[in-house]
Amino acid sequence: MRRRDFITLVGGSAVARPLALRAQQPGRVRRIGVLSGWAEGDTESKVWLAAFREELQRRGWEPGPGIRIDYRFAAGDSDRLGVYAAELVGTAPDVLLAVGATPLVALHQQTSSLPIVFAQVGDPVKLGVIASLAHPGGNITGFIIAEHAIASKWFELLKDTAPSTTRVAAIFDPENPNQAYYMEVAEAAGPSFGMQLIRAPVRNATEIERAIAAIAQEPNGALIVLPSAPAFMHRDLIILLAARYRLPAVYPYRFFTREGGLISYGVDLADMYRRAASYVDLILRGAKPGDLPIQLPTKFELVVNLKTAKALGLSIPEPFLQGADEIIE
């Protein structure tokens, strides 16, 4: 299938180029603190963090003699995030990695001096943690997960594959500050596709079951799943309920579709974490985070699961399939 790379770079490209690989200099072990909103055992989270470590090692930072990485996994618990953020800052690491918006906000509340690199964040300017994308200033820089306009694209995908859809439940985390911006776009986009948006805030499995059962009570319903910790941790349940109630659904990442979801469209997360490692490398070698421009995604993936489409009684148009990066049969 075709693979499409969308390259959008904020600021000058020279600063984002990898430094030449050089031998690890003798001296103190550098410390990296990682704060994640996901569960420690989440298989996809492990893939992203493995990509992060592999890129660091490729750039000369060997585990043990070169770096030590301390991890904290909040598993969707906002109270635990605050505690873990304070713990990591207390270890005085050389740089912190924030995995998601809520971890970024938690770290921002704890330190204005320690360097922070983020990944999987929607709009750090609206979050109030940086001054601008081109010139973030301060102690924070990183990689945006997607422009919020992607929410309109998710409606378009539903229209192309399930044209009878008139009602769409947006599964989102009300405690995630990024979600509000996606919802603004979604509410504006829905009517242009002849669809009514229904807000479905969820924090746990019980609320997910209730929200999906509600949208299934009337015909022509569908789901859009926003990227959030509850959706990630309970993705098996969401996919199961979508199948049970025969609801077409669009998801933000490839792994949802690989595990049985209908369609996914979003950024290549492993690539994002490799790029985050490049910024951590620059900071460990002396760069200031405020001088490193915020980077937009470079790789988006459209994936469709034909087995799921058949089970839902949907016929995916051939032009749609030709535009997909991967077809799961």
CB burial string 50-62: b at 16+ within 10 A, e below: ebbbebbeebbbe
Contact indicator for 104, 124 with CB cutoff of 8 Å:
yes
Tokens describing residue 228: 């959030």
Q: Are residues 158 and 257 in the same domain?
A: yes
Residue with tokens 């016929």: 315
For residue 3, the Cα-to-chain-centroid distance in whole angstroms is 19
Cα separation values, 100 from 81, 104, 117, 180, 277, Å: 11, 6, 10, 15, 15
Contact indicator for 187, 168 with CB cutoff of 8 Å:
no
Q: What is the pLDDT along the chain (329 residues), one digit of tens a residue?
A: 333 333 333 333 333 334 433 434 556 899 999 999 888 988 889 999 999 999 999 999 988 888 999 999 998 888 899 999 999 999 999 999 999 888 999 999 999 999 999 998 888 998 899 999 999 999 999 999 877 788 999 999 999 999 999 999 999 999 887 788 889 999 999 999 999 999 999 999 999 999 999 999 999 999 999 988 889 889 999 999 999 999 999 999 999 999 999 999 999 899 999 999 999 999 999 999 999 999 998 788 999 999 999 999 999 999 999 999 999 99
Q: Are residues 222 and 241 in the same domain?
A: yes
Sign of the Cα pseudo-torsion (323, 154, 45, 6, in order): positive
In a domain, 2, yes or no: no
Q: Directed axis angle between helix 235-244 and helix 205-215, to 10°?
A: 20
Q: Are residues 225 and 237 in the same domain?
A: yes
Give me the pLDDT at residue 200, please.
Answer: 97
Q: Determine the structural domain holding residue 222 and report its residue range.
A: 150-266+301-328
Q: Are residues 181 and 231 in the same domain?
A: yes
In a domain, 3, yes or no: no
End-to-end CA distance of the chain: 13
Give me the pLDDT at residue 39, please.
Answer: 87
Residue 213 sits in a domain whose CATH number is 3.40.50.2300
Q: Are residues 187 and 130 in the same domain?
A: no
Q: Are residues 89 and 226 in the same domain?
A: no
Q: How many domains does the chain have?
A: 2
